[in-house]
Chains A and B, each alone.
Chain A
Amino acid sequence: MPQILKDTQVVSDNWILLDENDDSIPAGDILLSYQQWQNFADHLSDHSGRIGIWLEGHAEIEQIIEPLLNLPLIAINFPKFADGRGFSAARLIKERYNYAGELRAIGGFIRDQLYLLNRCGFNAFQFSDENELSDAAESLKDFSENYQVSVDQENPLFRRR
């Protein structure tokens, strides 16, 4: 079974990421793109497994997020690690819309971004290459102190000094 990093632990993952060309819905917990979620809307009400949605980092979060907030999983795709839009998207979803479910990074992000991704609200990480997940988890501990407000830090350092 595939593995991911979730809440600092290496865990098995049974979410099925639907291929873009899939025109039927498999059984089990499924992760669909926002587009697929709209296309399959009529069929999803009697789906027995759980449903999660993945978004691109450049998605217009303000326009689309409301109906997604009760889902157990929202994922944000990084087309490449240098594309930092997913960092802003994550903070909006967590801080402005108070999303309480799992927020997962998927796609081309890299291990050395984990600490910052985590601060922006991601608690799960699905690497395209699963090797050395437990080593990668070390990068979640790169720093023990920060200056700014973030999802895991309500007050900036200057209010805590």
Chain B
Amino acid sequence: MYRYDNYDQKIVDERVAQFRDQTERYLAGKIAEEEFLPLRLQNGLYVQRLAPMLRIAVPYGMLSSNQVRKLAHIARVYDKGYVHFTTRQNVQLNWPALEEVPDILAELASVEMHAIQTSGNCIRNTTTDQFAGVAVDEIEDPRPWCEIIRQWSTLHPEFAFLPRKFKIAVCGSEEDRAAFLLHDIGLQLVKNEQGELGFEVFVGGGLGRTPIIGSSIRKFLPKQHLLSYLDAILRVYNRYGNRDNKYKARIKILVKAWTPEVFAKRVEEEWANIKDGPSTLTDAELARVTGFFSAPDYQDVDSTIADQSLAAQAAENNAFSRWLERNTELQKQSGYRSVTLSLKPAGVAPGDVTDTQLETIADLSDQYAFGELRATHNQNVVLTDVLYSDLFELWQTAKQSGLATPTIGTINDMICCPGGDYCSLANAKSIPVAEDIQRKFSDLDYVYDLGDLELNISGCMNACGHHHIGHIGILGVDKKGKEWYQIQLGGSANKSASLGKVLGPSLSREEITDGIEKLLDVYVENRIADESFLNTYQRIGIDKFKERVYASNS
């Protein structure tokens, strides 16, 4: 993975010093509350219901074992012994003290980490596929591009006070695992007819109150022009995005108002002025950054033997076999698999992990996965490059630490925001709903029979839990001080992205799990062969689901 040189380290160290000074001046009453607000937000610090919340950047989800040990240390010393993995591949601390945040940032800087631009109206953490570099269907490794974007966006002088937050995702594979069409800018790595690498550029996607799928504004952007083209998009947005109403301030609203064609034209006009300038990427820089993501030292594995031994282990142990089926993925490198460590055991808030679990994850990574790991937007952790012959041992340790819940990609692997238990924006709690569902559907045979099913829960319409793109989405709403839950069906974040449709009137907390069960019954009764929930829904439509859920109420 990318390692800092003296320049990177200096910038992060100076950011710590800057924020320390700002915090001291704030505590001394020399910075007004409303002026400190964006300063702390641009360093990931929110003030929440119960305590401040600090969001730590995990650029495109990549972490080293060393960094994970530091997170464990910070969780123990400065917080209550756990951290939370977010849907943007970042990590959150829920209970830091404001006075100690500069010290936490200094600890992070010592392992090449920071909290720069994890919040606020600026360019946020760039996200990508958790299987980057190992995915079977990869066109090109997106991580060097994410790092190049990270550096370009870090403390960009012109774009620190945008109309609203701004999110970029890069997709380097056939299958989309980065939900890139639901970002302010989505970049798809493509090759043209001459075999040259570039990007198809999508803008104006996003969730939140007005969910929209991004529009393509350029079919092929030659790779060396990436940064000047991004500058052009951001400049057009910074100048013309709506600043009067925060709910109409995302770039998607501007793109929609102007139409994608007009927006594209404005970007091209701006770009014509800055194209071919010094921001044009050099071969030397591409080689430098790409070098950090070179393949680890793979062993030469006889894949036939590896397959056979693994199959034999699986045949002997049903629990291992289930885990292998759900929690591991093939890689393009034969003899190796990627392992998803589940952060979704029943009874724990999805994405929460303790300091000792973090240390176990770091140890597993050192022992089996070249000392690296990835945070996923599904709020789990992935270890890549694990030898087939190490999988059984890894599973045993992970299982002891509660990291081997064999439900990846099922209804119990739900995405869930912190909700009303922590977040001051939330209209309703989301974690207890996730727990109720996990308890209700605890029979693994039933869960496996349901197969791939994405259930996403948001505690308010800001949609941090991505409810619009769940096959089943749950949105918490407030009605006269009481928590209600609206169900949406048919959302999907893959390349044929679709947004969920509202099923009907919202259900109470008591009704919601039964409602979900009825939806699942309709699916099981109507599916053809091994058709997934999403495909069945797409074939039979929403009405049968609706009739069943609301039948008893009529």
Asked if residues A157 and B151 are in contact (CB atoms below 8 Å), the reply is: yes
Q: Mark A128-161, 1 if CB is under 8 A from B, else 0.
A: 0000000000000011111111100011111101
Q: Mark B131-170, 1 if CB is under 8 A from A, else 0.
A: 0000000000000000000011011111111110000000
Closest B residue to A82 by beta carbon equals: B161
Asked if residues B158 and A88 are in contact (CB atoms below 8 Å), the reply is: yes
Q: Does B239 contact A (CB under 8 A)?
A: yes
Asked if residues B161 and A87 are in contact (CB atoms below 8 Å), the reply is: yes
Residues on the A chain within 8 Å of B279, using CB: 148-149, 156
Interface of A is mostly: loop
Q: Does A112 contact B (CB under 8 A)?
A: yes
Asked if residues A88 and B273 are in contact (CB atoms below 8 Å), the reply is: no
**Contact size class for B?**
35 or more
Q: Mark B381-423, 1 if CB is under 8 A from A, else 0.
A: 0000000000000000000000000000000000000000000
Shortest CB distance B286–A (Å): 9
A110 to B160 Cα, complex, angstroms: 13
A84 to B237 Cα, complex, angstroms: 11
Asked if residues B10 and A149 are in contact (CB atoms below 8 Å), the reply is: no
Q: Does B235 contact A (CB under 8 A)?
A: yes
Residues on the A chain within 8 Å of B15, using CB: 143
Residues on the B chain within 8 Å of A66, using CB: none
Asked if residues B35 and A81 are in contact (CB atoms below 8 Å), the reply is: yes
Asked if residues A147 and B154 are in contact (CB atoms below 8 Å), the reply is: yes
Asked if residues B18 and A147 are in contact (CB atoms below 8 Å), the reply is: no
Which of A81, A149, A154, A156 makes the CB contact (< 8 A) with B161? A81
Asked if residues B160 and A147 are in contact (CB atoms below 8 Å), the reply is: no
19 further contact pairs, Cβ within 8 A, besides A81-B38, A145-B11, A154-B278: A81-B35, A81-B161, A82-B121, A84-B159, A84-B160, A84-B161, A87-B157, A88-B238, A91-B157, A112-B22, A112-B31, A142-B14, A147-B151, A147-B152, A147-B156, A148-B152, A157-B151, A158-B285, A161-B288
* Chain B residues at the A interface, C-beta cutoff of 8 Å: 5, 7, 10-11, 14-15, 18, 22, 31, 35, 38-39, 121, 151-152, 154-163, 227, 235, 238-239, 243, 273, 277-279, 281-282, 285, 288
* Chain A residues at the B interface, C-beta cutoff of 8 Å: 58, 81-85, 87-89, 91, 96, 110, 112-113, 116, 119-120, 142-150, 154-159, 161
